[in-house]
Structure 1
């Protein structure tokens, strides 16, 4: 692209003098120069007037399944289904479009107990004889009909044949069982990037596998990427990655390998997150999905190779277990910048241990907005414990490096903001600026990218999200809109409104 000057914006990268910035010179995808007045702007260079709009470093979503989200957009979407019957009605109306009927994102949080019991293999058998899969919004559980059950090879665990219920690996990796073809996956990449762009997201910390890395590289060669991908590979592929000699420095400006994703437990909605005390009205405490020896071996290999670990731990029992196993093998600075994902059920002792070990906390305020309000899913499943979940302010106060993502439920920092600023517990609310920093400035450190992203310094990527209003001057962040998104100085999204 040719050099470009963006000016007449209200620039904020959370540094001391950012409010004095009047214009930025962009060339070769990067910020080349900052101007603190507009009188000396070079005349021959093309200029973009931002008309006083609010400019932030591009949003980073620190926990995505963007390609999987692109697949969802080609399947039956059950988002907003208020009952089992409404979901089944939608599937019935769209099943003729698919050879394998894949319906995703049902949320049974507000369904009656009877409806939850009725969601089983036999109910789905009455809908179609084609393979039919209904996967919950969390991805940690699904229900399939008899035809789909017969397609699952031996060797998969957490399968209840009598009910058709799948949990954890069998539900999480359904795309490895019912494999989409390459054309569908390539289309998914494009659809996922479109959704990221319109939500202001320029970088994703994407959880993926070797096949999808190859497809990302192919898409980049053929069409170019409109999102920067920082990749975390599922643990079952860890040996492949280590043997290939991949380290954090592998990649380029658009696709970069960062680390290994490990699951220690499940989800609260599926009642498989590992808790110290049982879920409400039962003895179930969820599941720790890895034992100490394989986790220890993964940590040792990661430390030896300088590879970051992204460790999924939602329940307090899983978090405690993960920290215990990590502690003997990492240095005081946590030089590999290992991170724990979700961290929903914490207490003060666990927070203090996270701080002492310098573990990065990667969390999802959109979960708070969706499920942590009084009477919501978390109170129904955890009782009084719900109010102190996701203690953002306590983590920030302890000096823990806190970053935010979405898990694509849904993608979009503007949706997640309220979960951080309007937390049901006032003591754990962040200020609006603290929350925005967790989507813009802080993610760069979490992925070893602080030299390329996160602020408006010369040499940093020219990735910006431009909002239509000053967030601090409105009474409701839901009134904020994305006006424009720039990636490397190129406009990749412009609000048509």
Structure 2
């Protein structure tokens, strides 16, 4: 044990199994001083730091880890969609059931007001296809309807929504987007960039509504032991006002989780505005930090819009959606790189990943920075040749392992086993030294960490399909991915991710010792009982 003998701890966490990190292993107790870890060791060692005002936090034999870090989700959107219709396969496994839910909502919604639903997956619906505009029209004839696929890259709109936006069969399709027609008639499906044409007709949330959403989503995450997040597309909803909302939330002590903000670079980008204000990567403090710049290169595999080098299964011979030309992407990447930003760009298909690696390589060659840590968000279908290039350039994958659990069977259905089973190759990445983090991409997947951990341990989908058992990791490795590697992905490994002296005292306490539990028990019968952030109890399950 190492400690400063003159100091008394502000708090001592004891009487449990406390996993401090992959290399550090477990201890019996942790001393906390001024929001940070003071010392770790045996109960006897740590209780020697107890003073008259030291708070004792009794774990009652339970299991604790560093606070979990969801390294890719959409915090503001999670909060905003909490009030939307749940269209997930669990809530609405059939198309008729989904339409009934929308019909019921329409009955209590004033005419002309938006009805919003998200979470459907056409590969899991009983009909095996996307809903159609005409079906939404029947369910809600007097309201515009937005029905988002789970991935967020595809949406179905009804006629009222199209009318509001002035979209019909003659509307030009934006580059990098899709407005689907069949037999010369709109089907309702809109994907990628084209969604903005219709979404911009929705009223923007107020600053107070955004603060409410940040707070509500943050408290939800604390209930799962998640103390740190990356908001993966700040600016997507309300532009620069989102920066204001985050800072006001922090000022008002309504920011429950440590937030690393990724600035969305799109056609309505606020990156220049942030740069002019001095908001570049690393600016901020332990609670709120400007992170990276985000550019979308493609869509989602399950939605058949991730950009692949070979066609999806089926008769349409589609290879997905390429959102930007090579020249456009390379200019955007070089611009952000030259401004000092880390980049965290969305690329799922192997063609998109290859395009992004090339853009990163060119920017790093023009302005070398060996530790910029540019990230490839998702990076689902990367190849061995791409991994070699990433190693040489210092580029890191930032995946969501829960996608195996939630969408693995959908990947097989649209790509076939040869390409699908080896997707999101966690063990391979780990062995190559990439330090891959994990996240939920919520609201794409639920932020509940247990399916994420389960998929890392088993590589099993929700249906039980094994997606390449060679990519399984141990529970210690899975926890390292969820804590230490999450911090590394944000260049904050000196601040958080482990329970070692000097790191922030963020601790998640669970009902079950995950080091000895069976994967199925972690998935089905484990919950967070206590969450500590900066030495203070911020969630307690009663």
Coarse TM-score class (shorter-chain normalised)? over 0.9
Would the alpha carbon gap of residues 66 and 335 (structure 1) be closer, same or farther in structure 2, given more than 3 Å must change? same
Which stretch shows the higher mean deviation, 78-87 or 313-322? 78-87
Return the offset for 1:296: 1.4
Equivalent positions of 1:44-123 (< 5 A) are 44=52, 45-79=54-88, 80=90, 81-98=92-109, 99-111=113-125, 116=129, 119-123=131-135
**Greater share of residues in helix:** 1
Q: Is the 8 A contact 2:528 2:541 kept in 1?
A: yes
* Distance in 1 separating the partners of 2:38 and 2:201: 48
Q: Note the C-alpha offset of 1:249.
A: 2.6
The match for 2:262 is 232
Distance 1:89 1:18, change over 3 A: same
Q: CA deviation at 1:353?
A: 2.0
Task: Indicate how the Cα distance of structure 1 residues 248 and 316 shifts in structure 2: closer, same or farther if over 3 A, else same.
Answer: same
> Offset of 1:305 from its aligned partner?
2.1
- Find the partner of 1:217 among 220, 223, 247: 247
Give the number of aligned pairs. 489
TM-score, length-normalised on structure 2? 0.85
Equivalent residue number for residue 205 of structure 1: 230
TM-score (normalizing by structure 1): 0.93
Between 1:306-315 and 1:184-193, the stretch displaced more is 184-193
| CA displacement 1:150-186 (0-9 Å, x = unmatched) | 2226787333472222101243796544134324333
Indicate conservation of the 8 Å contact 2:260/2:490, yes or no.
yes
Deviation for aligned residue 1:462: 1.0
Query: Residue deviations 1:229-273, cap 9 Å, x none?
Result: 100011122222233332223222221111111111000122110
- Structure 2: distance between partners of 1:172 and 1:135: 13
Which residue matches 1:159?
179
CA RMSD of aligned residues (A): 2.1
Give 2:195's aligned residue.
171
Q: Which residue number corresponds to residue 3 of structure 2? A: none
**1:338-385 CA distance string (max 9 Å, x none):** 00011111222222222222211111111101121xxx2111100122
The 2-side partners of 1:427 and 1:15 are apart by 21
Unaligned runs of 5+ in 1: none
Residues 1:335 and 2:371 are matched in the alignment: yes
Please state if 1:251 is matched with 2:263.
no
1:40 aligns with 2:58: no
Q: Which residue of 2 aligns with 1:5?
A: 12
How far has the Cα of 1:48 moved from its partner? 1.1
Deviates more, 1:469-478 or 1:148-157: 148-157
Match status 1:495 vs 2:503: no
Residues 1:29 and 2:43 are matched in the alignment: no
Q: Which of 475, 489, 492 is the equivalent residue of 1:449?
A: 492
1:430–1:174 CA distance, 2 compared to 1 (3 A): farther
Q: Distance in 2 between matches of 1:454 and 1:366?
A: 20
Unaligned residue ranges in structure 2 (runs of 5+): 1-8, 460-466
TM-aligned CA distance change 1:258 to 1:174, over 3 Å: farther
**1:417 paired to 2:453:** yes
> SS of the counterpart of 1:260?
strand
Of 404-413 and 32-41, the range deviating more from structure 2: 32-41
**2:391 paired with 1:360:** no
Residues in 1 aligned to 2:333 and 2:391: alpha-carbon distance in whole angstroms: 19
Query: Could you tell me which residue of structure 1 aligns to residue 462 of structure 2?
Result: none
| Residue number in structure 2 paired with 1:126 | 138
Who is 1:437 aligned against?
A: 480
Greater Cα offset, 168-177 or 228-237? 168-177
CA contact (8 A) 1:334 1:359 kept: no
Secondary structure of residue in 1 paired with 2:280: coil
The separation in 2 between residues aligned to 1:406 and 1:215, in whole angstroms, is 23
Assess if the C-alpha contact under 8 Å between 1:199 and 1:414 holds in 2.
Answer: no
Q: Distance in 2 between matches of 1:198 and 1:300?
A: 40
The answer for the alignment partner of 1:141 in structure 2 is 154
Contact 1:139 1:171 in 2 (8 A): no
Pair 1:459 & 2:484 matched:
no
What is aligned with 1:401? 435
State the alpha-carbon separation in 2 of the partners of residues 292 and 255 from structure 1. Answer: 33
